[in-house]
Amino acid sequence: MTTKIRRALISVSDKSNIENFARALSQMGVELVSTGGTHAKLSAAGIPVREVSDVTGFPEMMNGRVKTLHPMVHGGLLALRDEPSHLQAMESHGIGPIDLAVVNLYPFEETAAREGVTRSEAVEQIDIGGPSMVRSAAKNHRFVGIVTDPGDYGRVLDEMERLEGGLSDELRRELAVKAFALTARYDAAISRWLFEQECEAGLAPSPFPETFAVAGRKVSELRYGENPHQSAAFYRASAGEEPSAASAEVLSGKALSYNNYVDLDAALALAKEFDEPFVAVTKHNNPCGAAGAEAIEDALAMAWEGDPLSAFGSVLAFTRPVNLASAEFLVSGNRFVEAIIAPSFEEDAFDLLTGKPRWGKSVRLLACGEFGPRTRSAGDIEMKKMVGGFLLQERDLTACAWEDCTVKTQEQPDSDQIEGLLFAEKIAKHVKSNAIVLTKGRRVLGVGAGQMSRVDAVRMAVHKAGDEVAGSVLASDAFFPFPDGIETAVEAGVGAILQPGGSVRDEEVIAACDRVGAVMVFTGARHFRH
C-alpha cells in the first residue's frame, strides 16, 4: 500500500540539509508543521510552515520541555487509517493525520562525552518529545513514514517523486526499523551514563547494572569476518573521550577488515601503556615486537627486530606522530604492514607511505589523536560474547610499580633488570595466555603466546629470542605451576623472572632460581588474557 504524504511534522536537532528537504516537501504540496528552533530556521528560509502550537492549541512551555506531548500530535501519528473508531475519534476531536515525521534527537551522547560537562547539562539533553514522536510514528509505520537520519532525505524525496507523493510499504518498514534502533541506542547511552554517574558517586551497589544494554551504529559492512565464509560489519558504540581504533580517522588505504580492527584495537591497547616514544608490532591479536626509545624511529626499528618474520603483514601502533625516518624504515627492504595507527602522520611521512608502490593503495593509515595511560577510561567495560549471553568485566588497567613487587630470591636485581622486568610485565598483559615475554633493555626479544602449558610458552619465547636470550629478563602473565618453565628459561640465559606468584609450588620455583643465582620477583597481580 502506498500512503500519500499530505502533512509532515519536522522537529530536528541535527539540522543538516533540513532546509532543502523541507522546501522540496513543500513544493510537492505537503503541509509542514514544526517546533522551536526548526520552525525558526525554516521560516527564516522562506518555507511555509506552521508552529506545532497552532496545531495543539497549546503553547510550548517549561523552556520547550513540553511542546509535542499532546493528543493532537500523537493522535495524528498513531491513528489507524483503516480503523473506523480511530477515524471517528479524529473527527470528533479535530485531529489531523500526520503522514510523515522527520525527527532526530537532542545530542545527549555528544554532550555527555564533553570534558567537564555537569550532570544537569547532560540531563537537559535527554530528549523526551523526540523519542515519543519517533516511536509513535514507527509503531504506525503502515500509514506513517518516520525519517530519523538526514542521509535518508534523498531516498524519501526520490520515492515520493516516483510514487506521486507517496511512500511504499517497504521503505516505511525499513525506516521504522531504523527508528527503533535509534531510540534503543539513545536509551542505552542514557542508561549507561546515568549508571556510571552513580558508580562515580559511590552510590551503585555493583559496577555492573542489573540490565546492560548494548547499542552501536553501523559504520560499514566488511568484506567478510575472520574468514571469507563469515559476513561481518563494524559498529561504533556511544561517543567517548578515549582515543580508539573505532573513532580514529582513516586517512588512506584499503577498507579495513574484521581482523584489521581486532589487531588495531590490540596494538593500541598495548601502546596506551606507555608515555614514551613506543611502537607495538601486532600480529593475530598478539604483540610480536615492541620497543621504547628516545626517538620514535629507533623504537620502530627495535620493535621490528623483535620478530622480523612475524612483523611482515602486521599492524603497528605508534605513541608519537609517524615521522619521515619511520616511514623510510618501513618502505625499505622487504617490509610491509597491513595498518598503522598513530596520533598523527607528519606530511612528508604520509606522502612517502601513500606514494610508494605497493604501500600507497593498500596500507591503512589511521590517526587517533594523542593518547597515553591517562587517556584510558576505567568506565569502559569489556564485553565478551558467548552463545546465549555475554560476559562483562572491568578493563585490566593495573599498573605494576616496583613498590608493589617482592624479590623472593637471594639474588637481587640490578637497576637494568628492574626496568626490563617492569617493561616486560606491561607487554605480557597484552599477550594471549599462557603468556611469556622476554626483553632486554626496552625491547621485546621473544614472545610465547596462547600455549596450553607455560613451559611451552617459555620454549617458544626462547626460540624467538635466539642468540640474544642471554642476559634477558622474563615476565609471565600468571604463576609457574612447576619449576620446568623456570629451568628452561635460566638454562637459556634468562637472568631475572617476574611473575604474580600464587602456586602451591612457589617455593620449588624460587629454589630453582636460587640454585643458579637467578632473580625471581613476585607482583601479586595476574594478567590472564583469553
Same domain, yes or no, for 265 and 165? no
Q: Which pLDDT band, with edges at 50, 70 and 90, does 61 fall under?
A: low
Q: Which pLDDT band, with edges at 50, 70 and 90, does 3 fall under?
A: confident
Instruction: Report which secondary-structure segment, H or E, holds 153.
Output: helix 153-162
Same domain, yes or no, for 407 and 347? no
* Percentage of the chain lying above the pLDDT 90 cut: 77
The more confident residue out of 203 and 174 is 174
Residue 245: what residue type?
A
The span from the CA of 325 to the CA of 329, in Å, is: 6
pLDDT in tens, 489-515: 999 999 999 999 999 999 999 999 999
Residue 373: what residue type?
P
CATH at residue 21: 3.40.50.1380
* pLDDT above 80 for 68: no
Instruction: Report which secondary-structure segment, H or E, holds 97.
Output: none
- Close Cβ partners of 284 (under 8 Å, ≥ 6 residues apart): 263
Report CA Rg, the chain: 30
* Percentage of the chain lying above the pLDDT 70 cut: 98
Instruction: Tell me the average pLDDT of the chain.
Output: 92
Q: Which pLDDT band, with edges at 50, 70 and 90, does 63 fall under?
A: low
Q: Which pLDDT band, with edges at 50, 70 and 90, does 1 fall under?
A: low
In a domain, 300, yes or no: yes
| 395 contacts 383 by C-beta, under 8 angstroms | no
In a domain, 255, yes or no: yes
Same domain, yes or no, for 260 and 364? yes
Same domain, yes or no, for 189 and 278? no
Q: Out of 15, 139, 178, 254, pick the active-site residue.
A: 139
Same domain, yes or no, for 179 and 295? no
The span from the CA of 83 to the CA of 55, in Å, is: 23
Which residue do the cell numbers 562483562 mark? 392
The span from the CA of 377 to the CA of 372, in Å, is: 11
**What is the reported pLDDT for 360?**
86
* Residue where one domain finishes, among candidates 373, 390, 420: 373
Tallying the residues shown for the chain, one arrives at: 530
The span from the CA of 282 to the CA of 263, in Å, is: 6
Q: Compute how many other C-beta atoms are within 10 angstroms of the C-beta atom of residue 82.
A: 9
Strands 7-11, 100-103: parallel, antiparallel or unpaired by DSSP? parallel
Same domain, yes or no, for 409 and 365? no
Instruction: Identify the DSSP state of 61.
Output: B
Which residue do the cell numbers 538526514 mark? 150
Query: Does the CA dihedral 165-15-33-109 come out positive or negative?
Result: positive
Range of the domain at 255: 245-373
In a domain, 453, yes or no: yes
In a domain, 407, yes or no: yes
In a domain, 105, yes or no: yes
Q: Which pLDDT band, with edges at 50, 70 and 90, does 50 fall under?
A: very high
* Residue where one domain finishes, among candidates 126, 158, 193: 193
The span from the CA of 64 to the CA of 364, in Å, is: 46
The span from the CA of 283 to the CA of 260, in Å, is: 10
The span from the CA of 75 to the CA of 86, in Å, is: 9
* pLDDT above 70 for 159: yes
Same domain, yes or no, for 189 and 46? yes
Which residue do the cell numbers 599462557 mark? 434
Same domain, yes or no, for 26 and 149? yes
- Give the total number of structural domains in the chain: 3
**What is the reported pLDDT for 490?**
95
pLDDT in tens, 91-143: 899 999 999 999 999 888 888 888 888 898 988 888 888 899 999 999 999 99
Q: Out of 70, 86, 284, 356, pick the active-site residue.
A: 284
The span from the CA of 33 to the CA of 415, in Å, is: 73
The span from the CA of 511 to the CA of 49, in Å, is: 85
| 299 contacts 279 by C-beta, under 8 angstroms | yes
Same domain, yes or no, for 170 and 277? no
pLDDT in tens, 366-379: 999 999 999 998 77
In a domain, 391, yes or no: no
In a domain, 82, yes or no: yes
**What is the reported pLDDT for 67?**
67
pLDDT in tens, 284-343: 999 999 999 999 999 999 999 999 999 999 999 999 999 999 999 999 988 999 999 999
**What is the reported pLDDT for 65?**
67
- Close Cβ partners of 183 (under 8 Å, ≥ 6 residues apart): 105, 131, 134, 135
* Residue where one domain finishes, among candidates 373, 393, 422: 373
Q: Is 229 a catalytic residue?
A: no
C-alpha cell at 453: 602449558
Strands 249-252, 496-499: parallel, antiparallel or unpaired by DSSP? unpaired
Q: Compute how many other C-beta atoms are within 10 angstroms of the C-beta atom of residue 172.
A: 24
CATH at residue 474: 3.40.140.20
Lowest mean pLDDT among 8-17, 22-31, 38-47, 232-241: 232-241
Same domain, yes or no, for 416 and 484? yes
Same domain, yes or no, for 368 and 413? no
C-alpha cell at 156: 524519501
Q: Is 284 a catalytic residue?
A: yes
Q: Which pLDDT band, with edges at 50, 70 and 90, does 484 fall under?
A: very high
Same domain, yes or no, for 408 and 369? no
Q: Is the bond into 334 cis (omega within 30 degrees of 0)?
A: no
* SS3 (DSSP) at 69: coil
Instruction: Report which secondary-structure segment, H or E, holds 3.
Output: strand 3-4
C-alpha cell at 430: 597484552
* pLDDT above 90 for 443: yes
Phi, psi of 58 (to 5 degrees): -140, 130
| 323 contacts 296 by C-beta, under 8 angstroms | yes
pLDDT in tens, 445-481: 999 999 999 999 999 999 999 999 999 999 999 999 9
- Close Cβ partners of 68 (under 8 Å, ≥ 6 residues apart): 9, 11, 35, 52, 56, 129, 130, 132, 133
In a domain, 200, yes or no: no
